[in-house]
Amino acid sequence: MMQNVHLAPETDEDDLYSGYNDYNPIYDIEELENDAAFQQAVRTSHGRRPPITAKISSTAVTRPIATGYGSKTSLASSIGRPMTGAIQDGVTRPMTAVRAAGFTKAALRGSAFDPLSQSRGPASPLEAKKKDSPEEKIKQLEKEVNELVEESCIANSCGDLKLALEKAKDAGRKERVLVRQREQVTTPENINLDLTYSVLFNLASQYSVNEMYAEALNTYQVIVKNKMFSNAGILKMNMGNIYLKQRNYSKAIKFYRMALDQVPSVNKQMRIKIMQNIGVTFIQAGQYSDAINSYEHIMSMAPNLKAGYNLTICYFAIGDREKMKKAFQKLITVPLEIDEDKYISPSDDPHTNLVTEAIKNDHLRQMERERKAMAEKYIMTSAKLIAPVIETSFAAGYDWCVEVVKASQYVELANDLEINKAVTYLRQKDYNQAVEILKVLEKKDSRVKSAAATNLSALYYMGKDFAQASSYADIAVNSDRYNPAALTNKGNTVFANGDYEKAAEFYKEALRNDSSCTEALYNIGLTYEKLNRLDEALDCFLKLHAILRNSAEVLYQIANIYELMENPSQAIEWLMQVVSVIPTDPQVLSKLGELYDREGDKSQAFQYYYESYRYFPCNIEVIEWLGAYYIDTQFWEKAIQYFERASLIQPTQVKWQLMVASCFRRSGNYQKALDTYKDTHRKFPENVECLRFLVRLCTDLGLKDAQEYARKLKRLEKMKEIREQRIKSGRDGSGGSRGKREGSASGDASYVDPLGPQIERPKTAAKKRIDEDDFADEELGDDLLPE
When pLDDT is cut at 50, 70 and 90, the band that residue 414 belongs to is confident
What are the percentages of helix, strand and coil residues in the chain, rounded to 5?
65, 0, 30
Close Cβ partners of 503 (under 8 Å, ≥ 6 residues apart): 491, 492, 494, 495, 523, 527
Please say whether the beta carbons of 556 and 529 come within 8 A: no
The radius of gyration of the chain from alpha carbons, rounded to an integer in Å, stands at 50
User: How high is the pLDDT of residue 543?
Assistant: 94
What pTM was estimated for this model as a whole?
0.57
**pLDDT at 440 exceeding the cut of 70:** yes
**pLDDT at 743 exceeding the cut of 90:** no
Q: Which residue has the higher pLDDT, 539 or 774?
A: 539
- d(Cα 41, Cα 73) in Å, to the nearest integer? 23
User: How high is the pLDDT of residue 368?
Assistant: 87
List pLDDT tens digits, range 672-688: 888 888 888 888 888 88
The crossing angle, in degrees rounded to 10, of helices 552-564 and 586-598 is 20
**pLDDT at 402 exceeding the cut of 50:** yes
When pLDDT is cut at 50, 70 and 90, the band that residue 774 belongs to is very low
User: How high is the pLDDT of residue 311?
Assistant: 94
User: How high is the pLDDT of residue 228?
Assistant: 83
**pLDDT at 651 exceeding the cut of 80:** yes
- d(Cα 75, Cα 63) in Å, to the nearest integer? 6
User: How high is the pLDDT of residue 769?
Assistant: 37
List pLDDT tens digits, range 381-391: 999 899 889 98
User: How high is the pLDDT of residue 126?
Assistant: 62
Q: What is the mean pLDDT of the chain?
A: 79
**Planar angle of CA 748, 753, 755, nearest 5 degrees:** 165
**pLDDT at 479 exceeding the cut of 50:** yes
Rounded mean pLDDT, 44-50:
55
- d(Cα 623, Cα 602) in Å, to the nearest integer? 15
User: How high is the pLDDT of residue 292?
Assistant: 94
When pLDDT is cut at 50, 70 and 90, the band that residue 297 belongs to is very high
- d(Cα 551, Cα 557) in Å, to the nearest integer? 10
When pLDDT is cut at 50, 70 and 90, the band that residue 777 belongs to is very low
- d(Cα 290, Cα 413) in Å, to the nearest integer? 32
User: How high is the pLDDT of residue 350?
Assistant: 80
Rounded mean pLDDT, 485-504:
93
- d(Cα 189, Cα 619) in Å, to the nearest integer? 83
Rounded mean pLDDT, 278-305:
92
CA nearest to 322, candidates 389, 270, 272: 389
Please say whether the beta carbons of 631 and 785 come within 8 A: yes
Rounded mean pLDDT, 404-429:
84
List pLDDT tens digits, range 571-617: 999 999 999 999 999 999 999 999 999 999 999 999 999 999 999 99
- d(Cα 643, Cα 627) in Å, to the nearest integer? 6
List pLDDT tens digits, range 155-165: 999 999 999 99
- d(Cα 418, Cα 380) in Å, to the nearest integer? 11
User: How high is the pLDDT of residue 626?
Assistant: 93
Rounded mean pLDDT, 262-277:
90
The letter for the amino acid at 727 is I
User: How high is the pLDDT of residue 764?
Assistant: 33
**pLDDT at 746 exceeding the cut of 60:** no
Rounded mean pLDDT, 73-91:
50
Rounded mean pLDDT, 37-49:
65
- Per DSSP, 96 falls in state -
List pLDDT tens digits, range 84-123: 555 555 555 555 555 555 555 554 555 566 666 666 666 6
Please say whether the beta carbons of 121 and 164 come within 8 A: no
User: How high is the pLDDT of residue 129?
Assistant: 58
Q: Which residues pair with 66 in a beta bridge?
A: 72
- Per DSSP, 618 falls in state T
Return the sign of the alpha-carbon dihedral for residues 213, 218, 222, 224: positive
Rounded mean pLDDT, 447-473:
86
User: How high is the pLDDT of residue 521?
Assistant: 94
User: How high is the pLDDT of residue 595?
Assistant: 94
User: How high is the pLDDT of residue 522?
Assistant: 95
**pLDDT at 649 exceeding the cut of 70:** yes
- d(Cα 233, Cα 256) in Å, to the nearest integer? 11
The letter for the amino acid at 329 is Q
Rounded mean pLDDT, 49-64:
46
CA nearest to 596, candidates 611, 583, 584: 611
**pLDDT at 447 exceeding the cut of 80:** no
